[in-house]
A = this chain, B = another copy of it.
């Protein structure tokens, strides 16, 4: 099985805690040891937010902010690479061919952001598209997709399973409203939809959740089934 895992920066390295990164590396290694080809896309998290906040105060435009975000995702990706101790590509891939080439070489293929205007959620979907991945896992801070913002609405109901088109439908209004936060970026949802990628959105606080979802199809998040 070929799987791409998107790990939010806040999930991987909320405070650059080495134990957390080591635990994620171990989870990825177990997936690889089970015979999976594993790609990983790492987000920006707190350091990215700090840089972006400072730069915004300094008058940076959105593309400059994105470039800071991308730079930080690559630092986080280097942490995971270091923890994977020779099993991953030597440096984070900076594009889809480079990422796919690492998989071909039998390495865990780790990457961060690619270009301004494209979130790491979307990068993960495009990476999955480009290698015809069997599964795309979003390890986020939310446990799956809800019909409303679970932090704001006590009646929000989680979807157990949904189609990519439904995912787009649910994410659309969330992306319209700056206050609400979609569990998966709208562009990512649309890429999942166009390519029909089987996906899972789950709470990645415990890296074990990713292992269970990939190796046993067992998780408490949301399945996106084309």
| Interfacial residues, chain A to chain B (CB-CB below 8 A) | 13, 16-18, 21-22, 25, 47, 50-51, 53-55, 57-64, 67-68, 71-72, 74-75, 78-79, 81-83, 85, 90-91, 95-97, 100-101, 104-105, 114-118, 122-123, 125-126, 129-130, 132, 165, 168-169, 172, 175-176, 186-187, 190-191, 194-195
Contact = CB atoms under 8 A, between A and B. Distances in A.
A49 B27 CA distance: 26
A176 B172 contact: yes
B59 A67 contact: no
Contact of A194 (B62, B96, B105, B122): B62
19 contacts: A13-B54, A16-B53, A18-B55, A51-B75, A58-B83, A62-B194, A63-B96, A63-B130, A64-B130, A68-B75, A90-B97, A104-B105, A116-B126, A116-B129, A117-B118, A168-B176, A172-B172, A172-B176, A187-B187
Contact of A64 (B21, B78, B115): B78
A193 to B, nearest CB: 9
